[in-house]
Structure 1
Amino acid sequence: MFKNYIKTAYRSLYKNKGFTAINILGLALGLATCLLIVFYVVDELSYDRYNTKASRIFRVNEDLKLGENNVQYAVAMPPLAKTLKAEYPYVEDATRIKAAGTTHVKKGSINIVENKVGFVDANIFNVFTLPMIDGDPKTALLEPNTVVITESTAKKYFNTVNAVGKAIVFNDKENFKVTGVVKDLPKQSHFNFDFFVSLESFPDSRSNEWLRSDFSTYVLLKDAKDSKKLTASFPAFLQKFSGAQMQSELGMSIAQFEKSGSHFKLYLTALTDIHLTSNLTGELSANSSSQYIYIFSAIAVFILLIACVNFMNLSTARSSNRAREVGVRKVMGSSRKDLIFQFLAESIMITLVATVIAITAAAMLLPAFNQLSGKEIVLTVDTLKWMMPSLLAIVLIIGSLAGSYPAFFLSAFQPIDVLKGKLATGFKGGGLRSFLVVFQFFVSILLIIGTLVIYNQLNFIQTKNLGYNRNQVLVVKNLGELNQQAKVFKQELTELPGIKEATMTGFLPTNGWRNTRIYFKDTNFDQKKSLFPQSWEVDADYIPTMDMKIVKGRNFSNEMITDSTAVIINEAAAKFLGFADPINKSIYQSKGGERKGSTPNIRECRIIGVVKDFHFNSLREKIEPIVLTYGQNNGALAIRVSTSNITGLMAQIKDKWNSLSPGVQIDYSFMDQDFDASYRSEQRIGTIFVIFTSLAIIIACLGLFGLAAYAAEQRTKEIGIRKVLGADVSVIVAMLSKDFIKLVCIAIITASPLAWYVMNKWLQDFAYRVTIHWWVIAAAGVGALLIAFVTISFQSVKAALANPVDSLKNE
């Protein structure tokens, strides 16, 4: 019997090849797209879960509010980890990590730039799952000048994983002994180091400062539930260990500090939440956002729904044409149960074929999707373990739902009514189909408006005046390798034709290297009059090279010795300080250490200029106060070029570099590329939105195409009569199109307010953003109407041009 169902289903589907192809193609597209999005979401949700103790690991963060300034840090104080372990019995262990930044590692006669170097405590292997394949994790990092490397790094530098006992040279001068080799970290990790250097090599790691924060600190609890208990204990903990230093440096207790409206707090973030929920100052890597998980999940659900709606729509539409078949079958002795199984078999067969095509397509498109999304997703046995049962369930659910109308509705008709033609047919009689068409275009319009808004915002970011000129600025990132020769390198470059200006500093608007300091408006150290800005050390060439504008006062000068204690502030800082004219006013900085009686140990800084506000954070954030101090910082060299022969100029710059630092590779980029990289996630989201929106529209149009063909087929004789009576093609096209266009208009009216609300909420994440103008909604609506009309017109024109004799001669 089952074989007969399959055979009959195949014959029926083959007979209606057009509808079958549309059904399979639409459903396969929807399922393939949904699968790709599911792969992305699963990858995002899997971050840090490779750790076997992940559920019990928490990172300790800081929340500092000083007056009106509030900053949250992903780093904490040097002695915090060992103190937490000593103080609380439910803290099983605690460990620290500190990123080393750009480091050069010697291989033979050359130095290779490495950015995945981290200082770590020796007990890191007790907390995180870092399987060691050579060496002893208990002793590997106990001594200074020791390092554990990953498997791929061992092969890269020593051509073997058995690298224990070998030496690695950092920055052309520091020798470290390899004491262990661990497996490569999964990509789904919020830190991804290739070199784990013993923190015993880092003198500041033994500091007992409780008012300084520079170590990512993690606690491993004996029970995850103890996290609430630990969080509740933090106020008393800080009072006990940092209170004395605060009294010494600020002249007040923590209670007085908090009474003034400021606060200094510690709080926990679960390890598995870091990647999607944390975006604090001092993160070990750029994290993602749970917002994108929600957006992509919604898109996946919507696209799958559109595909399923398509399938159901076409199945119900075609079923009306099979009413007489049902009548004949019932007269010939078929039971209702047989008819139900027959219709369900056809539906499930289509779904199964579409699913197989979808899996194949998703696997083939995965490399391109990885490149687009910046992922490295691979299909593994574990992936198949959850994917195959899920897809099987989808096949059964979608197939059963799509086949339920013909299976249960048509099979219930009395044969005599069906054969007499009493079953209502035609598009107008399909209330369910009309609702489903509205739903499809409702979702499509949501996606169209979302895509337009995202691209408008991205264009706004690309074209906004940032307060500096990022174009034609070359940044040499590893200037520190030149040591004392850095100034010579800068001087020699400024003499080259094609170079206008050059500035030597590691603090650039696009590089993410940040530093904050506390300044006070007066010597009373009143927090309400405190400023907690970015504090950047720059030279006299910084503002001209960045093409920034001085709006008051002057720039630093190499000729004025007094500029060593001078500062330049931005407009945001001037507004915050409330000076009518800030020029020649002073702000004060605590130098730390013991107070001399009631006199704080302070440094006076005289304001000599105000620079026009410039963006140095994401446009998601408002421009914050910044203080530029005068000094020498060889973190990087920014060079403004003025030549079209960039290749020739770069060759000269490399020659100068090699003459001063042979064997060390120059590491450089262009500032506009660095700026674009900081918005890469938004650009990827925009591109993905366009692709998925296009797919949703294609799937919706496939369904509309099929329904238009069905409507034209149902009214073939009506069209023939109208043509005989003199109706021209335009009248017939309008007649066949108006019902569908009405449904699309309903979708536009209902979808537009929701799309405006959702995208307006998304834009709230940007401090600087576009406005959603009426024409965006109008453009999406007109676009949807045109797409729908073109889709419908193809079938309508075909029907209108048909010879009426062919449609009437059968009567």
Structure 2
Amino acid sequence: MRIAKKYFPNGNALGQSLILDDDSNNKVTAVYEDIPDRSHFHFDILRSMSGLESAKSVTLIGGSEAHLYLLLKEGTSVNQLESKFPAFVEKYVMPQIADAIGGDQTLDKFHAAGNKWEYSLTNVADIHLHSSFLAEFEPNGNITYVYLFSAIAIFILIIACINFMNLSTARSANRAREVGVRKVMGSLRSQLINQFLAESFMLTLFSFALALVIAYFFLPLFNTLADKQLVLPLNEFWFYGLLVVASMFVALMAGLYPAFFLSGFKPVAVLKGKLALGLKSGWVRNGLVVFQFVVSIFLIIATIAVNQQLNFMQNKRLGYEKDQLIIVKEAFLLGNNLQPFKEEALRNSAISSGTISGFLPVAGGWRGNDTYWKDGVSPTQTNIQDMVWETDVDYLNTFKMKIKQGRGFSKEFLSDSTAIILNETAIARFKIEGDPIGKKRPDGSPDPDKIQSWTIIGVVEDFHYESLKSNIAPLGFLLRKSNGSVTFRFEAANTSQVITTLENTWKKLSPDSPFQYSFLDEDFSKMYSTEQRLGKIFAVFAGLAIVIACLGLFALTAFTTEQRTKEIGIRKALGASINNIVLLLSKDFSRLILIAFVLAIPLAWYSINQWLEDYAYKTEIGVVVYLVAGSLTLLISLATMSYQSIKAARSNPVESLRSE
């Protein structure tokens, strides 16, 4: 609908024509509603595959651009349908594989050789969060992160509940006489429990209402941070019902124990002033304090680890120089003017080199795979999957890739049309012994009479062309035309001038086509957008957790100093210094934080190592990370406690002891 209004704002789009890619006239036969934001793919125009040359090349064993969607009849069993796929592979796929690699291929023989080929079904609703397949239409989410952040949010909520429980029980002395009087007047314990739970529920409900207002104003900021399009369902009745139910649950979780604890005071003992504060210094409250700081320390360690891995990926030596490279996209739109565009751009003194190729060392570039084998060996014995990139003579120089042996492509050697340059991994996988220069590498033809051998003229140093989650695979460069994009190396000081030059040249040669460009270093950073968002969200959650934990610690410290006022007065009267008093009031809570640190270390170590398993190349998370997290938490906690401690230590002992 949006595109129809864009191109045909003054009339009906049906029956009209659109010219796509400067060379095809397409008739508009339907207009569909805009794809919702919450969809696993988005498209503006649907075009029939029939008649497209690219569609004719799609086979069962090649063409990752083809996606198959099936609408199953109601009542169809997915498992039963999938059980029929092996027979389909045997009948239709194996003959194509046999044509590609030769030999009498059957599914059993294919699997026995250590290969695998199978089809499976994925529910469309599960693709975004559960699919890990390559060549999806759009980058997917990850259900693991949904579970992770949900768990963190729950833990932060638990921390807040712990603070409520601790403060409620810690200030029990202030309500002890109230409970005693109410019991003497005939109140039942159940009535007192209901009262305390009602107070907890009202406080929680007010908190939910306040949180809703805060969420409303901060949701756009969070969407920007998380790259999502979340909305609050303010027009849905069930949403408010859910808030009330959640308020009741949180009120029970936070208020149930204090309600039973406060309602359990014996009136005779309370009215005589014989109140046992119970959990004031007990192991339960200490355990709750330890728990909330375990969560806080864990989040701080995770935040540091995620950002350390991100820095490692962004700063790791890649095998090429990604800075000062600008990519002009959709270069095929230039047609026959592609080479003149490159030559015209190179006349600018700020541009040092340029290359025409759609194969780029960053996710999103073209990719090409084929099957090859070692020269002199039967193709059915040691076939190897190899990636092949089609480039021109200036490719390696523009990206500043390092030749370890031999040479790169050159216009001076006509024989380079049958030459190949391999990376170090390809040399190792093919087990080419000795000097590889001048040796042959056959192509993937199963017919011995049609095999074309490529002469190895150079070995390029391994470089990373995908995310560091992936290992470097065998790769070969061929000297062929590839018109996907044009990449130029330029001087950073003249960026604006270079962009203007390229845009003007483009408009002169192809005035009706849009000029699109990007910088390679920015495209490289986009590969790690998930890690960048993860680090920021972890930092927000860690900050929130430590703030909530320290608020509770601040209140507990204030209450502790209030309860120990007379003790502090006596100690000062006997000559204790301010430092002695501050140390006295801080050491108990400091001990709890140290215990939390010891408990958080193994949890954080295990979780971080599990997360790093997804990366083929990863940083070492050393002991310094854990020490920094522990020290940071301890310093923040000491700063939180210091105000109340110093205030108590500087108080006049006469004020606290004059009634004794």
1:222 aligns with 2:76: no
1:477 aligns with 2:329: yes
Most deviating of 238-247 and 511-520:
238-247
Residue 491 and residue 206 in structure 1: after superposition, are their counterparts in 2 closer, same or farther (change >3 A)?
closer
Q: Which residue of 1 aligns with 2:52?
A: 202
Residue 385 and residue 608 in structure 1: after superposition, are their counterparts in 2 closer, same or farther (change >3 A)?
farther
Q: Which residue of 1 aligns with 2:397?
A: 544
Equivalent in 269, 285, 300 of residue 448 of structure 1: 300
- Structure 2: segments with no counterpart, 5+ residues: none
Distance 2:208 2:58 in 1: 61
Equivalent in 382, 397, 420 of residue 272 of structure 2: 420
Q: Which residue of 1 aligns with 2:522?
A: 673
Residue 561 and residue 207 in structure 1: after superposition, are their counterparts in 2 closer, same or farther (change >3 A)?
closer
Equivalent in 439, 456, 461 of residue 313 of structure 2: 461
Most deviating of 462-471 and 638-647:
638-647
Normalised TM-score (structure 2): 0.95
Normalised TM-score (structure 1): 0.78
Could you give the per-residue CA deviations for residues 614-648 of structure 1, whole angstroms, max 9, x where no partner exists? Answer: 00011001111111111121111110002512112
Equivalent in 113, 131, 145 of residue 292 of structure 1: 145
3-state DSSP of counterpart to 1:614:
coil
Equivalent in 758, 765, 780 of residue 614 of structure 2: 765
Residue 748 and residue 210 in structure 1: after superposition, are their counterparts in 2 closer, same or farther (change >3 A)?
closer
Distance 1:385 1:549 in 2: 63
1:350 aligns with 2:203: yes
Distance 1:628 1:560 in 2: 16
Residue 764 and residue 370 in structure 1: after superposition, are their counterparts in 2 closer, same or farther (change >3 A)?
same
Q: Structure 1 counterpart of 2:9, which letter?
A: N
Q: Which residue of 2 aligns with 1:267?
A: 120
Equivalent in 241, 266, 288 of residue 92 of structure 2: 241
Residue 225 and residue 791 in structure 1: after superposition, are their counterparts in 2 closer, same or farther (change >3 A)?
farther
Residue 234 and residue 508 in structure 1: after superposition, are their counterparts in 2 closer, same or farther (change >3 A)?
same
Equivalent in 553, 578, 595 of residue 431 of structure 2: 578
Residue 282 and residue 411 in structure 1: after superposition, are their counterparts in 2 closer, same or farther (change >3 A)?
closer
Q: Structure 1 counterpart of 2:436, which letter?
A: P
- Structure 1: segments with no counterpart, 5+ residues: 1-150
Q: Which residue of 2 aligns with 1:341?
A: 194
Q: Which residue of 2 aligns with 1:726?
A: 575
Q: Counterparts of 1:527-542 in structure 2 under 5 Å? A: 527-542=380-395
Equivalent in 447, 471, 479 of residue 622 of structure 1: 471
Q: Which residue of 2 aligns with 1:375?
A: 228
3-state DSSP of counterpart to 1:664:
coil
Distance 2:500 2:100 in 1: 51
Q: Structure 1 counterpart of 2:423, which letter?
A: N
Q: Structure 2 counterpart of 1:471, which letter?
A: D
Q: Is the 8 A contact 1:468 1:546 kept in 2?
A: yes
Q: Structure 1 counterpart of 2:77, which letter?
A: D
Equivalent in 621, 632, 636 of residue 787 of structure 1: 636
Alpha-carbon shift at residue 427 of structure 1 (Å) = 6.8
3-state DSSP of counterpart to 1:219:
coil
Q: Percent identity?
A: 46
Q: Is the 8 A contact 1:590 1:601 kept in 2?
A: no
3-state DSSP of counterpart to 2:43:
coil
Q: Which residue of 2 aligns with 1:277?
A: 130
1:435 aligns with 2:287: yes
Alpha-carbon shift at residue 430 of structure 1 (Å) = 3.1
Equivalent in 314, 325, 344 of residue 492 of structure 1: 344
Q: Is the 8 A contact 1:472 1:670 kept in 2?
A: yes
Most deviating of 179-188 and 453-462:
179-188
Q: Counterparts of 1:14-163 in structure 2 under 5 Å? A: 151-159=1-9, 162-163=12-13
Could you give the per-residue CA deviations for residues 321-372 of structure 1, whole angstroms, max 9, x where no partner exists? Answer: 2112211232344333332232222211211111111111111110001111
Residue 386 and residue 761 in structure 1: after superposition, are their counterparts in 2 closer, same or farther (change >3 A)?
farther
Q: Which residue of 2 aligns with 1:127?
A: none
Distance 1:236 1:481 in 2: 43
Q: Is the 8 A contact 2:169 2:261 kept in 1?
A: no
Q: Structure 2 counterpart of 1:639, which letter?
A: F
Residue 781 and residue 208 in structure 1: after superposition, are their counterparts in 2 closer, same or farther (change >3 A)?
closer
Distance 2:251 2:211 in 1: 15
Q: Is the 8 A contact 1:557 1:563 kept in 2?
A: yes
Q: Structure 2 counterpart of 1:352, which letter?
A: L
Alpha-carbon shift at residue 239 of structure 1 (Å) = 1.7
Distance 2:472 2:79 in 1: 35
Distance 1:204 1:469 in 2: 33
Could you give the per-residue CA deviations for residues 40-63 of structure 1, whole angstroms, max 9, x where no partner exists? Answer: xxxxxxxxxxxxxxxxxxxxxxxx
Equivalent in 456, 481, 485 of residue 632 of structure 1: 481
Q: Is the 8 A contact 1:154 1:160 kept in 2?
A: no
Most deviating of 299-308 and 755-764:
299-308
Alpha-carbon shift at residue 193 of structure 1 (Å) = 0.5
1:250 aligns with 2:101: yes
3-state DSSP of counterpart to 1:627:
strand
Distance 1:647 1:490 in 2: 18
Q: Which residue of 2 aligns with 1:317?
A: 170
Distance 2:461 2:56 in 1: 41
